[in-house]
Amino acid sequence: MKALVYHGPGKKTVDEHAMPEITASSDALVRLRKSTICGTDLHILKGDVPTCTPGRVLGHEGTGVVEKVGAAVKALVPGDRVLISCISACGICDNCRRGMYSHCATGGWILGNEIDGTQAEYVRIPHADTSLYKIPDDVEEEAVVMLSDIFPTSFECGVLNGKVQPGNTVAIVGAGPIGLAALLTAQFYTPVQLIMIDVDKNRLEVAKRLGATDTIDSSDGKAGDKVMQLTGGRGVDTAIEAVGVPDTFVLCEGIVAPGGTIANIGVHGTKVDLHLESLWSRNIAITTRLVDTVTTPMLLRMIQAKKLDPMQVITHHFPFDKILEAYETFGHASNARALKVIIEF
């Protein structure tokens, strides 16, 4: 089969690769129909994720058709259309029983990281019964691709961890796909102010269309002052960091209100300064999380009920044989006006 293979920082190629095989009775083999590229894949290519070693097939998102199942798989049969979760979970270890699937003793975020992933014609899915979801007939498959990762990630790590509540003020730092997914799912809880911060004017325009009450161009370095002006000097109840660089986290530290929450979503590859000299007395909480995908079934129901439309963050489509072009587009998203790209098999 053909697969997109990581060969070390900055190096990737489309290679002929061995077909995956069922190696455990709980595995399923899935033929990919659609996949996508994640900001985390770009972090891998920068060398920020040491657990991903050269030779790995990248990708942890997608939809497909079950080709084959192991003897212990009970919920799926060949021919089922499925959503592939970015998190593989056994469902029975201590962490899974606590709902912390991201830290499953034999799973977690392993696809496209510790085992071969979904940017290939076929993928092996461990713990298939609890790591794949059947796609309802009345749901658009492209929308479902967005539930592999970015929507549960934004909702769980940003909105839920950020304790967004009715009447709150919320600032989201980063108007990329993750930030926009946080914007859409934060609206489940009717905050009165949703401030989107970014340096990209196009993305800020998209954010305004998707429900942001205010947008701030942070390219002048004065985003913090502008947030304070918008909130009467108080700051925001929830500051969601959706980029993964030191400056954006420090910005969140500067705009969070007393009693508020900083919810980190971004993947950080370098150290970040924590300004406790100004935060120690302000009753704030700082949360971190790797997505657990415990909300995926609920988000799927929200799509079915037409209460959520993830297709609003899809901007580009590429056949799999153009995946390197897709990476180029996604990696230069500002110039290409790209949000999420769909890879079609």
Tokens 């161009």 locate to 217
Q: How confident is the model at residue 48 (pLDDT cuts 50, 70, 90)?
A: confident
- The first and second tokens of residue 242, run together, are 């959706």
Each residue of 185-200: pLDDT tens digit?
999 999 999 999 999 9
Q: Which domains does the chain have, with CATH numbers?
A: 2-148+309-344 (3.90.180.10), 152-287 (3.40.50.720)
> For residue 328, which amino acid is it?
E
Per-residue confidence (pLDDT) for residue 7, from 0 to 100: 97
Region 75-97 average pLDDT: 98
CA–CA dist 298, 242 (Å, integer): 22
Tokens 């910005």 locate to 251
The secondary structure element, H or E, covering residue 317 is strand 314-319
Q: Longest C-alpha distance within the chain, in Å?
A: 61
DSSP codes, 238-256: EEEE-S-SHHHHHHHHHHE
Q: Is 67 exposed, middle or buried (0-12, 13-18, 19+ CB in 10 A)?
A: middle
Could you tell me if 208 and 184 are in contact, meaning their C-beta atoms sit under 8 angstroms apart? no
Each residue of 96-135: pLDDT tens digit?
999 999 999 999 999 999 999 999 999 999 999 999 999 9
- The first and second tokens of residue 170, run together, are 């919320």
The residues, ordered by sequence, that sit 6+ positions from 322 with a Cβ below 8 Å of its Cβ are none
What single DSSP character describes residue 165? -
Q: What is the pTM of this model?
A: 0.96
